[in-house]
Amino acid sequence: MSELTPAQLDALVSLLDDPDVEVKSHVRDRIISLGAEIIPFLEEKWESSFNPEVQKEIEELVHDLQFSLVKSRLEEWKNTEDRDLLTGLWIVNTYQYPDLDFAKLNAEMHQIYFEVWTSFKNDLQPYDQIRIINNVLFNTLRFSANTKNFHSPGNSMLSTVLDTKRGNPISLCAIYLLVAKKLGLPIYGVNLPNLFVLTYKSADITFYINAFNKGLIFSRQDIFNYLEHLKIEPKDAFFEPCAHLDIILRSLRNLGNAFEKLGEANKVAEVREMMAILENQ
């Protein structure tokens, strides 16, 4: 785990309540330098400690180590060629749920895909294919818009959305998109102001899908009307597919807004750090 023996690690942790601020700061830096592998050891120390001061220090250290891990994963993800969407969503998810296993999320998504696939027929027209996906996701599996807690941080956590079957536009679109991709359909995300939607875009046909409204199908003209209603100038980006990076950035922006509404300034600052990693091309 590190070049330190268990006895030396014990000694380090016991110095976390040292009254000398400089000593404490040095100890913190030393523990942080050991990386995420030290987390299980710190958690054991937290459980066996009867000193609330030391426990608080350990909690902060564990959070800092976990957050560093999230940031390094985001950096790695950004530098991968395909920027796999599920992996990106999992990394965002581990900000709130550090122990979440990618394999668990992947298995749950595969189960949803399987439910759709068993009802699916490749030889149907695009509109009929979408009706089948809509029926399974929104009627059989009962996914729906989280209108009661629209600004909850849980809406940006895929594991929470899969558990509660409630999500915001982007999380519901992400689930839809992951299923559609596995089915081999030409479906992509579209970054609209105040709303995230999907587009079915092939050589023959283009239309749009609102997963937040049970997969409602709409047209390019509807987007023009929507923008006009918001008094927003139309831009190409409001009609065209966006990248996986844009989807993850928008998820993070929603998460930051959720924490802002809850008055959690530290978390808002951390989410901005995560966004900066992805924005720094």
| Domain extents in the chain | 6-78, 85-279
- Residues in the chain predicted with pLDDT less than 70, given as ranges, are 1-2, 281
CB atoms within 10 A of CB 153: 21
Burial of 187 (0-12, 13-18, 19+ CB in 10 A): buried
- Residue at 211: amino acid letter: A
CA angle 23, 25, 28 (to 5 degrees): 110
For residue 275, which of 236, 197, 257, 175 has the smallest C-alpha distance?
257
Q: Take residue 39 and report the two structure tokens written for it.
A: 């987390």
Strand 166-167 vs strand 187-192: parallel, antiparallel, or unpaired?
A: unpaired
Distance in angstroms (rounded) separating the CA atoms of residues 224 and 88: 31
Distance in angstroms (rounded) separating the CA atoms of residues 87 and 20: 42
pLDDT tens-digit map of 133-160: 999 999 999 999 998 887 899 999 999 9
Edge-to-edge strands of the sheet including 187-192?
A: 187-192, 195-201, 206-210, 216-218
- At 37 the pLDDT is 84
Q: Helices 6-14 and 52-78 sit at what angle, rounded to 10 degrees? A: 110
Contact indicator for 209, 130 with CB cutoff of 8 Å = yes
Contact indicator for 191, 246 with CB cutoff of 8 Å = yes
- At 59 the pLDDT is 86
The reply to whether the predicted model has a pTM over 0.85 is yes
- At 1 the pLDDT is 46
Contact indicator for 189, 111 with CB cutoff of 8 Å = no
Distance in angstroms (rounded) separating the CA atoms of residues 58 and 230: 48
